[in-house]
């Protein structure tokens, strides 16, 4: 399941974040890549634990935990602290699949990467190229969202960032370990939850809502891992 989550940050917030990113010092993006990914990764990144990355990451997590669309789709159990990257002219990241397990620097906690996310801090007109391409059931999906918007997709997906040919592409990325490991099961639960929410708004007293809600939670109880 590939899902667009709009407006995690508003225009004013995005401008402040981008101004700070433009003024900070960057490191080689390969510092957090696995052995195979490092061969394909050509970008810049804020080191783990960088004060600006921690500040932006904390704000992101706070927004996500209060975002009904993310909570319903991801059913999050653990989140790897968001990382911040920059692709300038020539920067790219060839096709790869993210490492199955990530461990934040200085932590004993491990996160299984069920879901990958990218939050854009640059608008599409700010740079040429730089599309996030994700291989899914329906073919190759090309993603280039407005600043402040986020895309959520399975961590098992083959994906890449196309070369940037003009400007700079700033973004945050992170991984989520879901309460439900299988993408197909999460997608079914998300569709059911969305239908329940719509029915609750349209016909709040419909007797089938109780049965549907019970079925949702019984499926969640069957599939959840804690």
Rg (CA), the chain: 18
Q: Known binder of ligand: residue 98?
A: yes
Q: Known binder of ligand: residue 193?
A: no
Q: Known binder of ligand: residue 159?
A: yes
Query: How many other CB atoms are found less than 10 A from the CB of residue 50?
Result: 18
What CA–CA distance (Å, rounded) separates 181 from 192?
17
Q: Known binder of ligand: residue 169?
A: yes
List 213's β-bridge partners, or say none. Answer: none
Tell me which residue of 20, 46, 72 sits closest to 172, measured CA to CA: 46
User: From the DSSP assignment, how many helices (H) and strands (E) are in the chain?
Assistant: 6, 17
Half-sphere exposure of 164 (CA within 13 A, CB side): 23
What CA–CA distance (Å, rounded) separates 75 from 98?
20
Tell me which residue of 39, 45, 21, 42 sits closest to 162, measured CA to CA: 42
**Positions at the binding site for 2-oxoglutarate:** 169
**Positions at the binding site:** 96, 98, 159, 169
**Positions at the binding site for Fe cation:** 96, 98, 159
């Amino acid at each position: 399941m590939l899902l667009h989550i709009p407006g995690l940050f508003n225009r004013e917030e995005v401008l402040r974040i981008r101004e700070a990113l433009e003024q900070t010092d960057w490191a080689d993006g390969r510092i957090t890549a696995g052995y195979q990914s490092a061969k394909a990764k050509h970008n810049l990144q804020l080191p783990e634990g960088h004060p600006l990355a921690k500040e932006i990451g904390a704000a992101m997590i706070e927004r996500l935990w209060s975002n009904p669309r993310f909570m319903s789709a991801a059913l999050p159990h653990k989140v790897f602290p968001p990382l911040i990257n920059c692709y300038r002219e020539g920067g790219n990241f060839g096709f790869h699949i993210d490492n199955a397990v990530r461990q934040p620097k200085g932590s004993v906690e491990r996160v299984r990467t069920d879901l990958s996310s990218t939050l854009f801090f640059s608008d599409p007109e700010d740079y040429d190229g730089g599309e996030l391409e994700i291989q899914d059931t329906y073919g190759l999906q090309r993603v280039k969202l407005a600043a402040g918007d986020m895309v959520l997709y399975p961590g098992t997906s083959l994906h890449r960032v196309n070369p940037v040919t003009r400007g700079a592409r700033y973004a945050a990325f992170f991984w989520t370990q879901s309460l439900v490991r299988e993408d197909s099961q999460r997608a079914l639960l998300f569709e059911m939850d969305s239908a329940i929410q719509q029915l609750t708004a349209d016909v709040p007293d419909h007797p089938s809502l109780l049965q549907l809600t019970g079925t949702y939670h019984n499926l969640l109880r069957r599939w959840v891992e804690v």
